Structure 1
């Protein structure tokens, strides 16, 4: 029995020889993957269940409105208790940067787990093929049905399958639109023909796209349409943990004969049952090494472990492992990898920026523009007057009556702020105010002055904002 760890190809010639055994389905045949229960299949379903948030999230309520609502017409984006306006969208750039770097980190550490466990294409395809299996049977039965002549039974089964696929596609599109409109009322408006054209077009595109991508293209989407499958190769290194076949333990392959003891076999542990290929959703043979089609879903591990149990051999012939492990080298500690430090630093900066942005979000925003021409005016009584334009941004979904005040000067008069300013939701309201300071009270050419904006929401909550400016006077 050969139990030594495999030594991966070390020369260019060996790499080319390995690549000759790679197989990429170009769409000539439909892959009907076999489903087998196991630990990784359970983890895969658990990871896929995260997408329930996509379907159920729009119906969560918060403070008498939709908890997460991207209100594009009113240019307001509600995230539970916070309201983000386009002026605060710099945080979106940091959020996208964070997820992009996190994807790179995860790929560098454990390969394409996003593709195998979380990607919407993988998840929707898995659901579609699950429906297909429930209606049409095992892979062999599905192939037989595809080749069978058209009759009422075949029409009934195929029509039911495609009807469910289209329904899932419709729910995918409708759920997407629901994030941008009030979800409960959208149902009535949509089916009564009262929704806007963008809603109907979006739902139609999502329905057709989901139906085609998950129902027909399947793994072809990963091969030819997804850029991540192309670039992920440069993110892997010898420390990356991916599903891999232990060549040294498994080769040479040989089937188990009836009555043969597996303990005395001269062949390797691989019995050449091809179950690892049968369960692969992209149809690759993991025994031929890492290749573009592998999405690291680990279903081949479940299949191989079950076969090893049946033939009385240890599990792990196919397992999550790194190149260093197969070469017998001790794995490098996580903290000793330079890219981990670089990625962590970028993610930390992005997260810090996002937390800072949300922590400084205010219900109203105040901007103060000092009049430049002239900088000041000398009045007939000798006092000095400065003019300011105040812009008030209301981030709340209701009208606010805003009161303006000022502080920072010992003796002054605020002119033009006697009446409250009505600020419309999501809009900017402007007003002009003057500050007058007696000549005797002036303490220099430039003195700081702080403007305050205060309002009371209908629920009684006080909201405030302030902005520092400057009062300019002539030289003494």
Structure 2
């Protein structure tokens, strides 16, 4: 945006005039972006490699089973040695909060970094266009091939390209399903027609979706379909660091060759390489705009040209609007929202870590019967009824021994034998507690129920739950 001291209405008018210069491809043409090597291109590939976890993660084994498995039919979610059940899904809300705030803080600081370097649409499109370039050549050759009449050679190239696109789409869908069922079992059953019907439907949807979105829609998905792009776009402000064109240094544009001509023009030689490499086809020199996904490929292109013409790098660089206009900028640690965002992130992450580290293999809940609260027995004792619910979070059935403490003369009825708790399920047990009336000193006597089991590994696990024994008024 241009440096000028104007009133608020003038600023709005200037923004509208600047937006009139934006070029948003509405799908009337296919963008064939040029590929140039450079630090940001390498960084982009490095960040994209994170998605290898998506493809390879289901094949990681842990204690003889899939390390990460979202077993929806059995309502069990295995994370290495930890099993998370629906009762522990409060951690999911914290996880969603963590990533939502992380997205907000990253966007506020460095713009649409998610869109530029991590978004699966961006990454898959980049891979698809890389395949296209390997088979069809640079942008000019691809445009010529698209306009050429169909020949056997063109048919062969197009068939190979679309076949590879479909293969990537299939592997995308297959890998998604592998997170929800044993990956090796899926390979054995899928191609012989023995897999679940939902697996075939999911793979088909992912294959078609990936093929269409990354192969054909490409930047149109970012412009018109993606809600995150719109949300992230409104989070930017004057202090956000994004790829930006230094207009004061670059204008007026020209290709001055003599010394006197070079002094009369800015550093921008109007080579349009920043536009040629942009995957969404925008001109970064028109200011920050909705089509910019902050992938920084224009920085590589501009620096490459600056090196050739013997001018300093950084005509296009990561910078804030305040920096470009010469205003003073605050360090990150002095910005209030950075501390607020960081505090929320720390709380959410702390809650998740606490939840994962405090997960017990078994849980015990105690429900006191309310009708009646107590029963006076013929032997003069007071009896209370309870329903104990044992949740087994282990993958194997276990025998759980129940006991109670809190009073010296207390008797537990119905817990002579251990109860068998099935894996991933809640097993109820109805028990009775008796205390002689003459030994009951309080109307409400605190008591403590205990559950103990021994895992197949030999480890003894204990858990307990507080309750109350209720008697008549004295």
Q: Same fold (TM over 0.5)?
A: yes
1:293 counterpart residue number: 291
Query: Deviation digits for residues 442-476 of structure 1, max 9, x if unmatched?
Result: 22111111111111222222222211111112223
What pairs up with 1:265-344 in 2 under 5 angstroms? 265-344=263-342
Structure 2: distance between partners of 1:444 and 1:37:
80
What pairs up with 1:18-417 in 2 under 5 angstroms? 18-257=18-257, 260-261=258-259, 264-417=262-415
2:432 counterpart residue number: 434
Q: What number of residue pairs does the alignment pair up?
A: 470
Question: 2:264 aligns to what SS in structure 1?
Answer: coil
Give the RMSD, CA atoms, in angstroms: 1.6
Change (3 A) 1:6 1:59: same
Structure 2: distance between partners of 1:175 and 1:150:
35
Deviation at 1:7, TM superposition (A): 1.8
Structure 1: distance between partners of 2:228 and 2:259:
45
Deviation at 1:419, TM superposition (A): 0.8
Structure 2: distance between partners of 1:125 and 1:457:
49
Normalising by structure 1, report the TM-score: 0.96
Aligned counterpart for 1:449 among listed residues 447, 450, 456? 447
> Are the counterparts in 2 of residues 445 and 473 from structure 1 also a CA contact under 8 Å?
yes
Change (3 A) 1:220 1:9: farther
Compare 291-300 and 345-354 and name the one that shifted more.
345-354
Change (3 A) 1:52 1:451: same
Gaps (5+ residues) in structure 1?
none
Structure 1: distance between partners of 2:252 and 2:24:
24
Query: Deviation digits for residues 60-119 of structure 1, max 9, x if unmatched?
Result: 111221111000000001111211111111111111111011101110000001000000
> Are the counterparts in 2 of residues 9 and 15 from structure 1 also a CA contact under 8 Å?
no
Structure 1: distance between partners of 2:131 and 2:263:
41
Deviation at 1:439, TM superposition (A): 2.8
Gaps (5+ residues) in structure 2?
none
Structure 1: distance between partners of 2:323 and 2:149:
52
Deviation at 1:9, TM superposition (A): 8.1
> Are the counterparts in 2 of residues 402 and 453 from structure 1 also a CA contact under 8 Å?
yes
> Are the counterparts in 2 of residues 389 and 430 from structure 1 also a CA contact under 8 Å?
yes
Question: 2:234 aligns to what SS in structure 1?
Answer: helix
Change (3 A) 1:90 1:8: farther
Query: Deviation digits for residues 252-308 of structure 1, max 9, x if unmatched?
Result: 001244xx3599431100000000000000000000000000000000000000100
Structure 2: distance between partners of 1:232 and 1:35:
26
Deviation at 1:147, TM superposition (A): 1.1
Deviation at 1:200, TM superposition (A): 0.3
Aligned counterpart for 1:7 among listed residues 3, 14, 20? 3
Compare 202-211 and 434-443 and name the one that shifted more.
434-443
> Are the counterparts in 2 of residues 410 and 441 from structure 1 also a CA contact under 8 Å?
no
Quick check: 1:459 aligned with 2:457? yes
1:468 counterpart residue number: 466
> Are the counterparts in 2 of residues 8 and 323 from structure 1 also a CA contact under 8 Å?
no
Change (3 A) 1:213 1:366: same
Change (3 A) 1:6 1:311: farther
Q: Which of structures 1 and 2 has the larger relative contact order (alpha carbons within 8 angstroms, sep 6+)?
A: 1
Structure 1: distance between partners of 2:32 and 2:333:
42
